[in-house]
Amino acid sequence: QTSPSQPSVQQINAFREREARVYAKARPKSKKRFADGVAGFLDGVPMHWMLDWPMPFPMVVEKASGAAITDIDGIELDDFCLGDTGSMFGHSPPPVARAIRRQARRGLTYMLPSEDVLELGHLLTTMFGLPQWQIATTASDANRFALRVARAVTGRAKILVFNGCYHGAVEETFVRLKDGKPVNKPGLSGQFRDLTEDTKVIEFNDVAALEAVLAPGDAACVIAEPVLTNSCMVLPDPGYHAELRRITRETGTLLLIDETHTISSGLGGYTRVHGLDPDIFVLGKPIAGGVPASVWGLSAGVAERYSDYTRRKPWGYSGIGTTLSANPLQFACMKATLTDVMTAKNYRHMEKLAARLADGLSDAVARAKLPWHVARVGARVEFICAPGPLRNGAEAEAAHAPALEAAIHVGLVNRGCLIAPFHNMMLVSPATRKKQVDRLVDAFGEICGELA
């Protein structure tokens, strides 16, 4: 911690240890059942991300409903993590729960369309603007398949990513800048290939670098979140998206906008709210209200080029698919989400409370005179334990304060509020109530006061 006004390491450690004891004491059942992991699972967990929560051991969840989550020790928390966006519209939104019940009587997967499909294409086009869609199961897959299409239609092998990006388990996006040079992202397991051979990487918000890197005309596609939400939260400079679109067009590079997190922006995502015009659009996580599903959409031009490409290519395996994708449960839940959950009314509620949350957190930071800041994209709010705003991935990496953030997370859980692990993200859902937001603001304020 370089700044003199940041909490000291001793202060952070003392706070974290005290909070960890409080957490463990309150959860004898979770501790007994889970503190040593569960037999039969690698490292004791069914998915290793569960070890990345900052609490001493994960709480075992009994149920989640609306914007609250209850563990087997009977403790109810206000849930601002919401499955890191999978449940951005609340846990089991009633229209989705009804769709699940209805479809459960009609079969769950059969590699054929159900009647819901008859409306779904239209719903996707109306909501997001692009005319041609495919359904997959995860946002990682949707990105992977969309990148393949971009390469097919352009005949170019390379792609461009932004430093600090995350687009899911898409191997070729795991490239970073280190001292200005592209390298494989540190920490990848079992990755021996040099990913920088086909992946270019530059900083976000750098128009000159974008011009230079795309000038050779060898990149199929830029894959971008419209706001970097996986590197703290980096907002685009005014005019940056217009430049991104201009330069990609001038160099024949396709633009893939990954809205998986920025769908928090409002109806139709950041793309619709800010009038972006991508060639390819990807959305996963909440698109079926928490049931695993994702979509990738193509502009008319790219769809036409891809049809042309597939007509010319020898018949055979495309390498794009997965068996459980486009199943009738996904159709039913996606239809329910697009019709009755992703509504203007719900977004208005989310936006209003998220603004209240961001203002409350900013006030708490100011009161405690900490050198921190708060950023927001619609219903998605992030506090960053460093001054801001941040302009790119390098600045975001420098701002990251893992020990401090972990201490705050545990402190918040002990005060009744769950926020997303790995970063400091809070989501407001249609089910979130004002008193939950105010509780989070108060809890954060108390912790800032203790750490300041």
SS3 186: coil
Using CB atoms within 10 A of its CB, is residue 148 exposed (0-12), middle (13-18) or buried (19+)? middle
Q: Which is nearer to ligand PMP, 143 or 325 (CB)?
A: 143
| Beta-bridge partner residues of 78 | 68, 417
Distance CA 360, CA 354 (A): 10
SS3 381: strand
156 binds ligand PMP (CB under 6 A): no
Q: Nearest residue to ligand PMP, using CB?
A: 168
27 binds ligand PMP (CB under 6 A): no
Distance CA 1, CA 9 (A): 8
Question: Among 58, 95, 168, 182, which residue interacts with ligand PMP (rule: CB under 6 A)?
Answer: 168
- 291 closest CA partner among 250, 240, 248, 325: 325
Distance CA 335, CA 135 (A): 12
- 294 closest CA partner among 302, 303, 286: 286
Q: Which is nearer to ligand PMP, 71 or 258 (CB)?
A: 258
Neighbour-count burial for 379-412, b at 16+ CB within 10 Å, e otherwise? bbbbbbbbebebbbbbbbeebbbeebbbbbbbbb
Q: Which is nearer to ligand PMP, 34 or 166 (CB)?
A: 166
421 binds ligand PMP (CB under 6 A): no
167 binds ligand PMP (CB under 6 A): yes
260 binds ligand PMP (CB under 6 A): yes
User: Which region among 43-51, 160-168, 188-196, 237-245 touches ligand PMP (by CB under 6 A)?
Assistant: 160-168
Nearest approach in angstroms of CB 170 to ligand PMP is: 8
SS3 1: coil
Question: Among 166, 347, 372, 383, which residue interacts with ligand PMP (rule: CB under 6 A)?
Answer: 166
Question: Among 261, 349, 376, 423, which residue interacts with ligand PMP (rule: CB under 6 A)?
Answer: 261
7 binds ligand PMP (CB under 6 A): no
User: Which region among 46-54, 161-169, 208-216, 409-417 touches ligand PMP (by CB under 6 A)?
Assistant: 161-169
Q: Which is nearer to ligand PMP, 167 or 415 (CB)?
A: 167
Other CB atoms closer than 10 Å to residue 345's CB: what's the count?
A: 9
337 binds ligand PMP (CB under 6 A): no
Task: Answer for the pair 137, 294: CB distance below 8 angstroms, yes or no.
Answer: yes
258 binds ligand PMP (CB under 6 A): yes
Do you know the residue count of the chain?
452
Structure token pair of residue 406: 């972990």
Whole-angstrom CA distances from 303 to 139, 208, 297, 370 are: 20, 30, 9, 50
User: Which region among 65-73, 258-266, 357-365, 371-379 touches ligand PMP (by CB under 6 A)?
Assistant: 258-266
230 binds ligand PMP (CB under 6 A): yes
Nearest approach in angstroms of CB 10 to ligand PMP is: 34
138 binds ligand PMP (CB under 6 A): yes
Q: Which is nearer to ligand PMP, 30 or 325 (CB)?
A: 325
Listing from the earlier edge strand, what are the strands of the sheet with 199-202? 132-136, 294-298, 280-283, 254-258, 219-224, 158-162, 199-202
225 binds ligand PMP (CB under 6 A): yes
Q: Which is nearer to ligand PMP, 172 or 258 (CB)?
A: 258
Distance CA 20, CA 135 (A): 42
User: Which region among 34-42, 156-164, 257-265, 356-364 touches ligand PMP (by CB under 6 A)?
Assistant: 257-265
Q: Which is nearer to ligand PMP, 66 or 168 (CB)?
A: 168
Task: Answer for the pair 40, 428: CB distance below 8 angstroms, yes or no.
Answer: no
The count of chain residues that interact with ligand PMP, using the rule CB under 6 A, is 14
Question: Among 139, 377, 386, 443, which residue interacts with ligand PMP (rule: CB under 6 A)?
Answer: 139
Q: Which is nearer to ligand PMP, 168 or 182 (CB)?
A: 168
411 binds ligand PMP (CB under 6 A): no
Nearest approach in angstroms of CB 396 to ligand PMP is: 14
E strand segments, 6-121: 61-65, 68-71, 76-79
| Beta-bridge partner residues of 65 | 68
140 binds ligand PMP (CB under 6 A): yes
> Which positions lie near ligand PMP, rule CB under 6 A?
138-140, 143, 166-168, 225, 230, 258, 260-261, 284-285
